Structure 1
Amino acid sequence: MKKRNKIATVVAVASCLVLPVWAATTNLTITADTLSYDGKTGRADAVGSVVITREDKTMTGASGWYNTKTEEGILTGGVSMIGQNMSMAASEVHSYHNDEFKATGNVHLQKDNKQVYGDEVTYNTSTDYGVVNGNGKLVMEDSVLTGDYIEGWMNQIKANAKGNVTLFSAKHNLNATADSAVYTQTPGQEDGVAYLTGNAHAVQNGNVLDAPQLKLEMKDNSVQTMGGRSTLVITPQ
């Protein structure tokens, strides 16, 4: 029988146990009620009150695994993640390299003063780029954009939405719908501009405008048709 030079697998059971391992050059800490680690494959499996901490992010969940060699992991069961200027909650989160996250199940992502909701959200913390599939909602400084699909850049406030799109702003007394939309805004400024395309419909201050495409400017509460036959209904004030 050959004598083993090192332990390939570690199994631990405790009410709160910390297993520090190394992923690349970053120290990673995993805490769980039940924890196993295979030093050969680099995979750690954790069950019960799991806490994974790496760099500026801490993730918690009921169970999951993390591979220190591929820098990939999955947490399930009431998952939450807290990082620098951001937080996320979901039923399950799949992480890649500590900056790419795919969350599923009642996802709620908050970055600074912006919020994202959806059935599935993929988000990169390095580029601030995210994609929402299913029941998407983007809550911005003075507007709310919804759609079946939304992609955008949180740091720039630039978003594209498709499918059952709505744009709402209580501040600007605006309700609008369309098949798709492109929305841009400078952070901290009231200069939001939205291009609504396909069955565009906008109601602002009681006035109704229908057109194939509309341009809405929050700065001066203006609505402009962009082509095709349009209809404007003005409600006397």
Structure 2
Amino acid sequence: MTKRTICRGGLLLLAAGAVCTAGLAAPQNADPTNLTADRLTYDTRTGVVTAEGGVHVDQGTGNIEGARATYNTKTQEGTIEGNVRVQREDMNLSCDRLLAAGQEHWQASGSVHMAKAGRTFTGPLVDYYPAQDDHIVASSGGTITSPDGTLSADHLEGWLKQSRFTGIGNAHVTNPARDLEGGGDRMDYYGNDPRPYVELDGNAWVYQGNNTARSNHMTVYLADDGTAVTQ
């Protein structure tokens, strides 16, 4: 029989490390890992570790919880599902299912709510690459919210550390503090520029107060007094 219940010793440590790698993407030789679950199993034939029921993992200041977690020791791919909650450094994530392919690629799906670097992403699906300037790809669309306003589109991609975002399809941007709203077929937002701006392409439009501007291509800056400056 190759499928065994994990009860103590090295296999328990294997399970804890596996689930933590899948969810927290922690590097080797990091803080000790603690895992609790109602049931742990290890299939020696397939190399799959399974934790079920009240899964909770702590490592350093990070933690993760869910209803069920699996990790394949051969492929280094793990999943956690069922009311998933993750806290890691300055990131908080909730979703229905989280897949981790090694330590550099996560995929969250199902009612995703991700908060990091002062911004919040909500949508049905997001791929996250922490080593690539916190690169996110939302192929099914979503909304990014920050103190400056919101960005939404049918397809969203961005680099959180660069405050740079691209939206394709029904792109929409708002800045309530300046009574500004705009959109187009595509938008590119550059938040870390000394003078932040957004480029709108394809049926581009901008509203501010009672003023309206339309063009096939617009670059929108914010003047010092908060008014929109288009080019």
Amino acid paired to 1:198: G
1:208 aligns with 2:212: yes
Larger strand share, 1 or 2 = 1
1:44 aligns with 2:49: yes
- TM-score for both structures, normalised by structure 1: 0.80
**1:41 shift after superposition:** 4.2
Larger helix share, 1 or 2 = 2
Amino acid paired to 1:164: N
1:193 match: 197
Query: 3-state SS of the aligned residue for 2:103?
Result: coil
What per-residue deviation string (whole Å, max 9, x for no partner) do you get for residues 155-211 of structure 1?
110001011111000112101121110001128x7x321000011111012201111
2: CA distance, partners of 1:219 / 1:139: 22
Q: Structure 2 matches for 1:1-237, cutoff 5 A?
A: 9-12=3-6, 19-21=12-14, 25-26=28-29, 29-39=34-44, 41-53=46-58, 57-127=62-132, 128-186=134-192, 191-220=195-224, 221-225=227-231
Is the contact made by 1:19 and 1:31 (CA closer than 8 Å) also made in structure 2? no
**1:9 shift after superposition:** 4.7
**1:55 shift after superposition:** 6.5
**1:214 shift after superposition:** 1.1
Indicate how the Cα distance of structure 1 residues 37 and 28 shifts in structure 2: closer, same or farther if over 3 A, else same.
Answer: farther
Q: Which moved more, 1:46-55 or 1:163-172?
A: 46-55
**1:140 shift after superposition:** 2.5
Is the contact made by 2:117 and 2:161 (CA closer than 8 Å) also made in structure 1? no
Unaligned segments of structure 1, at least 5 residues = 1-6, 226-237
* Overall identity of the aligned pairs, in %: 26
**1:218 shift after superposition:** 2.5
1: CA distance, partners of 2:51 / 2:115: 26
Aligned residues: 213
2: CA distance, partners of 1:69 / 1:196: 46
C-alpha RMSD over aligned residues: 2.5
Query: 3-state SS of the aligned residue for 2:203?
Result: strand
Unaligned segments of structure 2, at least 5 residues = 19-26
Amino acid paired to 2:157: E
2: CA distance, partners of 1:46 / 1:99: 22
**1:101 shift after superposition:** 0.7
- TM-score for both structures, normalised by structure 2: 0.82
